[in-house]
Amino acid sequence: MEAQTFSDRGFSQLQALVRDIAGIHLTPAKKAMVCGRLAKRLKHVQLDNYDDYVHFLTSLEGKGEVQAAIDLITTNETYFFREPKHFDFLRERILPSCVSGRTFRVWSAACSSGEEPYSLAMLLAECLPTTPWEIVASDLSTRVLEKAHRGQYSMERASHIPQQYLVNYCLKGIGSQAGTFVVDPALRARVRFTQLNLNSPLPSLGEFDLIMLRNVLIYFDLTVKTQVVKRMLPVLKPGGHFIVGHSESLNGVTGELESIVPSVYRKPGR
């Protein structure tokens, strides 16, 4: 069999594996995308077809390959200051009420290659010059976290960054780094990246004033959505905000949060 696609049985096995590990439901419509992303891994492990690759992933010998496969399958689009209305809400409605002297803590869940947490860091540095703040950024993929740690991007990725932030918090590459920019090291140092699976019990992260879980829930079915949000809510402080993507909603997922505006929720209290 040529390595062109999965058999129905092979894809079903992969669907089960990805759901068990990441909670993500791969629809049959994603089959071609998955094949494209995994093609190089077949060559890497010297296998001839996708069904054999799935069999390898479920074997003892393939345990080390599972993370690489999950990384490739679950990586999704992101860019700086994506869905800007959320950043406007943060600047206009949340940050002005920050208590002086108390650290404002943010969790950027499913942070991908770092554009969201660095966007948040630029905004917090600009709006909270004298108030301490912290950002924890997590993702399931170790591959995108390595890129996020470096904080280096092509200049094309800078198109959504406000000019003032670009000047204040980004450094233009020169010489062999021409055509790229890097997030200022002082700002990068204020973002803590960690590998974390939202589909598993959470490690100790402390409590947060704001949780960003944007454009992630659309990949989960209702059962997994409910479990993920239930797992996260205990670390959201009373009065804290929980933001999902503009195309997402927590209706039917949890009754513990009150809706403020579409896609922005608040935990009662304080």
Amino acid at position 27, single letter: T
Residues in a beta bridge with 193: 137
Would residue 37 show up in a list of annotated catalytic residues for this protein?
yes
Give the pair of three-digit tokens for residue 82: 């994506």
User: Are 197 and 70 spatial neighbours (Cβ–Cβ below 8 Å)?
Assistant: no
Phi and psi, residue 180, nearest 5°: -130, 170
Percent helix, strand and coil across the chain, each to the nearest 5: 45, 20, 35
Catalytic pick among 51, 71, 105, 139: 139
Catalytic pick among 19, 37, 157, 266: 37
Question: Count of alpha carbons within 13 Å of 160, Cβ hemisphere only?
Answer: 15
User: Are 237 and 262 spatial neighbours (Cβ–Cβ below 8 Å)?
Assistant: no
Distance CA(168)–CA(178), nearest Å, equals 19
Would residue 52 show up in a list of annotated catalytic residues for this protein?
no
Q: Enumerate the active-site residues.
A: 37, 139
